[in-house]
Amino acid sequence: MPTGTETGYDPSLGRKFVFVTGGVMSGLGKGITAASIGRLLANAGFDVTAVKIDPYLNVDAGTMNPFQHGEVYVLKDGGEVDLDLGNYERFLDTDMTSDHNVTTGKVYREVIEKERAGDYLGKTVQIIPHITDEIKRRVREAAVGSDVCIVEVGGTVGDIEGMPYLEALRQFAHEEDSENILFTHVTLIPYSKNGEQKTKPTQHSVKELRSIGLQPDVIVGRCEDPLEEKTREKIALFCDVPTGAVFSNPDVPDIYRVPLVVEDEGLDEYMMDHLELAGEALPAGGRDTAWRETVTRERDDETSVALVGKYGMEDAYISVHEALKHAGIATGVDVDRRWVHSEDLAEGHDSQLADVDGVVVPGGFGSRGTEGKIEAIRYCRENDVPFLGLCLGFQMAVVEFARNVLGFEGAHSAELDEDTPHPVIDLLPEQRELDDMGGTMRLGAHATDIEPGTLAHDLYGDTSCTERHRHRYEVNLEYIDGLEAAGMVFSGVSGNRMEILELPDHPYFLGTQFHPEFRSRPTRASPPFVGLMEAVLSRQEETPGVEERPAVGGGN
């Protein structure tokens, strides 16, 4: 194996790689399929990690617009990455780093920097071998310490941008023993008008794969329903795989059930056999069943929680959505997450918020829709409606309080109104100097000290917590005394930065400068979200006129 010395990788470590490509079209849930495979291998006792390859030229997702690309997910090391990494962290219950998101921007930047530094000794620098070597190096490095690394190639086979990656994976497989690599192709099986499952698009995408030297070992058909036997046979025949290597991945009402479906199909066993891992796997009866138990737990109660934001698509707030779901699982509640457009709220908010049980104001940038968010917060504060503010939502809770409780007219965040007479949210003095140099965003995991005896202390059950951040502005220290004198409690701080706020006289009014949603997992719901759900449930019990709602059940 020639790559051992070149890349510093020791092939004798015997690590396994599952490469996942997509056929026919994007948006098939390839990432969820890949993450589900990972979950099952983890249940069988293996250390599983993942690499998401994004063939775009951006170095990272930090500059990407949530309208177009969905949420920017933040990792503990401060990496701003594609939201798919969030799915991997949630499914695998692991913390990843920026190295697990390979982008064309990162790969080319590295190669160009090496070229400028003279590292290539006068050679012509080319896609093959220099770019492909860099891709392989990154994939191998991200896999260090794991038994199995799932490598998902974003986009669809045939995309120009994806070509260097597929070539790199071809070389990778060539350099490895065949039992260490498994190629999985996730593809679409549409129905014809007369209700027949059609395999031709799959045949074409596999033909495309084969033309670049890749033969799938496993084909997963995304279809409304399970694949019929004759569909499997046809795919097997024309794509040159055993019938037993064609698996269904039918639509399910909840993405967390995909691992269960895939397990029932036997995909995990097939993969472990191919990767020669079956002997090391926990016996079928002794595997980790926490996922199955968690996602199938009864959820008797129903609540509705409004998410007040400006990006009118679920993907832009996917981690908040998922964190609400996790808190629902933990408290036995089915959460109806309602979308409320912040711009509609600036006036006449009551009609939209009147029948919700709780409100979340998530993070964001820019002034559009902020007056509506402030109105939603006022409504919650005045009407004892459980409220959770995240990052910008935390900042707007300070603004609302300054305006309407302290009477500071025009109070605002300096980010959103440069001329505000009361910049209750501002850059810290030391940040202002840095700001001239750019890149002042506070990113990634930082510890917060929690004041004993507060709601935050109750929620976290600890005097500190470590959560992820992505912000630039802070509570202005000059206003803290005034805010506290009027009843706002900063129950979490990190040095001179305010991290958690709460209103002790309110049933549940909590804001966090950090983003707890990024650490929430199905099996480990985030404390501020669980607190919100518990507050919502007790409000439902107390509120007259809602007795017909089912009693509190489940429990965590």
The closest of 20, 19, 24, 22 to 202, measured between CA atoms, is: 24
DSSP helix/strand/coil, 123: coil
The answer to whether 517 is a known catalytic residue is yes
238/365 with CB nearer ligand GLN: 365
155/364 with CB nearer ligand GLN: 364
363/527 with CB nearer ligand GLN: 363
Q: Among 140, 170, 470, 519, which residue interacts with ligand GLN (rule: CB under 6 A)? A: 470
Q: Of 265, 467, 517, 534, which one is the catalytic site residue? A: 517
Query: HSE on the CB side for 392, CA within 13 Å?
Result: 21
71/175 with CB nearer ligand GLN: 71
Q: Which two tokens stand for residue 425?
A: 């949210």
Task: Considering only residues 508 through 527, tell me which ones interact with ligand GLN, judged by CB under 6 A.
Answer: none
440/540 with CB nearer ligand GLN: 440
216/364 with CB nearer ligand GLN: 364
Q: Which two tokens stand for residue 151?
A: 């490598």
155/511 with CB nearer ligand GLN: 511
Q: Of 223, 380, 391, 465, which one is the catalytic site residue? A: 391
Which secondary-structure segment (H or E) carries 52? strand 48-54
**Cα–Cα dist 539/525, whole Å:** 20
**Least separation, in Å, of the C-beta of 391 and ligand GLN?**
3
**Cα–Cα dist 365/342, whole Å:** 13
**Least separation, in Å, of the C-beta of 327 and ligand GLN?**
20
- Tally of residues, the chain: 556
**Least separation, in Å, of the C-beta of 357 and ligand GLN?**
24
Site string for ligand GLN, 421-460 (x = CB under 6 A): ----------------------------------------
The closest of 81, 86, 534 to 321, measured between CA atoms, is: 86
Q: Among 139, 149, 353, 391, which residue interacts with ligand GLN (rule: CB under 6 A)? A: 391
Beta carbons within 8 Å of 39's beta carbon, 6+ residues apart: 48, 91, 92, 259, 291
Residue 364 as a binder of ligand GLN (CB under 6 A): the answer is yes
Q: Among 109, 292, 338, 472, which residue interacts with ligand GLN (rule: CB under 6 A)? A: 472
363/522 with CB nearer ligand GLN: 363
Site string for ligand GLN, 81-120 (x = CB under 6 A): ----------------------------------------
- DSSP secondary structure string, 422-469? -EEEE--HHHHHHHTTS---EEEEEEEEE-TTSHHHHHHTSSEEEEEE
Q: Which stretch binds ligand GLN (CB under 6 A): 131-139, 258-266, 348-356, 357-365?
A: 357-365
Q: Among 183, 408, 473, 509, which residue interacts with ligand GLN (rule: CB under 6 A)? A: 473
Pairing state between β 497-502 and 509-512:
antiparallel
CB atoms near residue 78 (< 10 Å): 18
Task: Considering only residues 131 through 150, tell me which ones interact with ligand GLN, judged by CB under 6 A.
Answer: none
**Cα–Cα dist 239/226, whole Å:** 19
Tell me which DSSP letter residue 240 carries.
T
Q: Which two tokens stand for residue 391?
A: 């990052």
Q: Among 175, 322, 415, 499, which residue interacts with ligand GLN (rule: CB under 6 A)? A: 415
Q: Which stretch binds ligand GLN (CB under 6 A): 246-254, 464-472, 489-497, 517-525?
A: 464-472
**Least separation, in Å, of the C-beta of 358 and ligand GLN?**
19
Residue 310 as a binder of ligand GLN (CB under 6 A): the answer is no
Q: Which two tokens stand for residue 98?
A: 């920026």
The answer to whether 465 is a known catalytic residue is no
**Least separation, in Å, of the C-beta of 416 and ligand GLN?**
8
Q: Of 185, 502, 515, 534, which one is the catalytic site residue? A: 515
Query: What backbone phi and psi angles, to 5 degrees, belong to 446?
Result: -140, 150
Q: Among 140, 234, 403, 471, which residue interacts with ligand GLN (rule: CB under 6 A)? A: 471
Q: Which stretch binds ligand GLN (CB under 6 A): 228-236, 280-288, 431-439, 471-479?
A: 471-479
**Least separation, in Å, of the C-beta of 415 and ligand GLN?**
5
Size of residue set near ligand GLN by CB under 6 A: 10
**Cα–Cα dist 426/418, whole Å:** 10
358/389 with CB nearer ligand GLN: 389
**Cα–Cα dist 139/137, whole Å:** 6
The closest of 308, 434, 473, 315 to 379, measured between CA atoms, is: 308
Angle between helices 83-92 and 30-43 (to 10 degrees): 20
Residue 414 as a binder of ligand GLN (CB under 6 A): the answer is no
Tell me which DSSP letter residue 495 carries.
T
Residue 322 as a binder of ligand GLN (CB under 6 A): the answer is no
Residue 154 and residue 162 in contact, taking contact as beta carbons nearer than 8 Å: yes
DSSP helix/strand/coil, 470: strand
120/365 with CB nearer ligand GLN: 365
Q: Which two tokens stand for residue 236?
A: 């097997």
Cα 459 vs. chain centroid, distance in angstroms?
23
**Least separation, in Å, of the C-beta of 50 and ligand GLN?**
25
CB atoms near residue 400 (< 10 Å): 23
Residue 3 and residue 136 in contact, taking contact as beta carbons nearer than 8 Å: yes
Residue 79 as a binder of ligand GLN (CB under 6 A): the answer is no
Query: HSE on the CB side for 67, CA within 13 Å?
Result: 4
Residue 365 as a binder of ligand GLN (CB under 6 A): the answer is yes
Interface contacts to ligand GLN, rule CB under 6 A: 363-365, 391-392, 415, 470-473
Active site residues: 391, 515, 517
